[in-house]
Amino acid sequence: MTERLDQPRELTPRLRLYYDPEAFGEFSERFARFLGTARFIVYMTVFVSVWLLWNVFAPYKFDPYPFIFLTLMLSLQASYAAPLILLAQNRQADRDRVQYEQDRVAAERNQAEIEYLTREIAGLRIALGEVATRDYIRSELQRLQEELSEAGARSRGAGSEDSR
Burial class (CB in 10 A: 0-12, 13-18, 19+), 35: middle
- Name the residue ranges covered by the structural domains of the chain: 21-150
- Work out the average pLDDT over 40-69: 94
Tens of pLDDT, residues 86-127: 999 999 999 999 999 999 999 999 999 999 999 999 998 888
Distance of CA 44 to the CA centre of its chain: 35
Report the chain's mean pLDDT, rounded to a whole number: 89
- Work out the average pLDDT over 57-84: 93
